Amino acid sequence: MLLKTLLILLALIGLAVPIAASLGWLGLILQWTDSPMPLHRAISDMAWQTSTDFLLVAIPMFVMLGEILLRAGITEKMYDGIVKWLGWLPGGLMHSNIGSSALFAATSGSSVATAATIGTVAIPQIRKRGYNEPLFLGTIAAGGTLGILIPPSINLILYGLLTNTSVPELYLAGFLPGFLLAALFIATVAATCILRPGWGGEKLSYSWGERIGALPALVPPLGIFLVVVGSIYAGIATPTEAAALGVVAAMALAAFNGKFSINMMREAIEGTMRTTAMIMLIIIAAVFLNFVLSIIGLTQALTDFVTGLGWGPMQTMLMIVAILVLIGCFMETLSMLLTMAPLVTPIVVALGFDPVWFGILLMVLLETALITPPIGINLYVVQGLRKSGPMMDVMKGALPFVLTMFVMLGLLLVFPGLALWLPALFY
């Protein structure tokens, strides 16, 4: 049954059926072949219950926050400010790509939005300053992945909803791994440019006066981050309410920069509606699929199969990681999260692992999936911004960062306290 399910899903994806439709059709096919009951009659009730969940209201709020920030005129100033602080390292602007991505990720919660925003500002600098193009593009694609790990993260909200795990704990757990991964990306760029000095482009240097003068440009994104995350841990707001506060703060920031207008808000709302509709359609299809899998017994069969192998907890976890890395090569990250988390998390918990820790491990696996071909979404985002040149350049440039993510996965497996220390300290 498990093999049949996987083959049907891969066939639907291979036929270029949209992800939401693939998940929905898979649920219907499994219902017709393996269930004596007409499970499709539950779709309308599931769609209503899922769409009215208070926690999911945070999704359009965070999407709108990113849309407004994109149009508020802070990205270019933020990028220039980080250039002055990180540009002296071997690799110059490539470190700024990663640093800006980490800072923007701490406000937007979306990897695709992070890669698109930073890429728009950074890509024109490649030839102007003589950088190795594949590696430069790889820093944008990899830096963008930080959007689903560094809080606030839409994916962490969905994981919390699917597995009944505390979102505030997940947010705390994501801080250290998120910024550590950004530091590892920076170290990867520095090491590469030390070994290949010609790849690092024009050497940049700035005075301390210029660096200090650039600090005001970094205040707006940090302010948004404090409003959103600070309100949660101060006990002022739930994650959903904090997202709404972030939208209000972003609107105030846009007004302060002279960018607030009816046209700007119309564009932001249109972008929010398109993105939210796509996300919610995938969520509803995935919820129906998970319901079908549970009814036909596939979830329990998978749990029994894994526990019946007689392997130790760490051996089993390594197998799960390897399978998820493979699945990530062929499956879009949101649908991977929505289908795999309900299946795998009960197995992980039964093995004695913490669901908060596993949520962070899963986010790193999803980040890896964002830049592994052939379905790595960030690769296509960066290539679309670039508008010319072979796709292979982006894939080659992202490869060192895939290896860096494997290092991060190893650190989380060996040192689970990287994810669990802050939640334990706070709670």
Which residues touch 271 (CB under 8 Å, ≥6 apart)? 63, 67
Residue type, 305: F
Mean pLDDT (the chain) is 85
Q: Are 275 and 377 in contact (CB under 8 A)?
A: no
Q: What is the pLDDT of residues 222-275, one digit of tens each?
A: 888 888 888 888 888 888 888 899 899 989 988 988 888 999 899 889 988 888
Contact 62, 154 (CB under 8 A): yes
DSSP code of residue 166: -
Instruction: Output helix, strand, coil percentages for the chain, rounded to the nearest 5.
Output: 80, 0, 20
Average the pLDDT over 289-293 and give the result.
Answer: 79
| pLDDT at residue number 410 | 96
> Which of 11-20, 91-100, 128-137 bottoms out in mean pLDDT, i.e. has the lowest?
11-20
pLDDT of 1: 66
**Residue 61 and residue 246 in contact, taking contact as beta carbons nearer than 8 Å:** yes
Average pLDDT over residues 190-210: 84
Q: According to DSSP H, which parts of 371-390 are helical?
A: 377-386
Angle at 277 between CA 272 and CA 281, to 5 degrees: 155
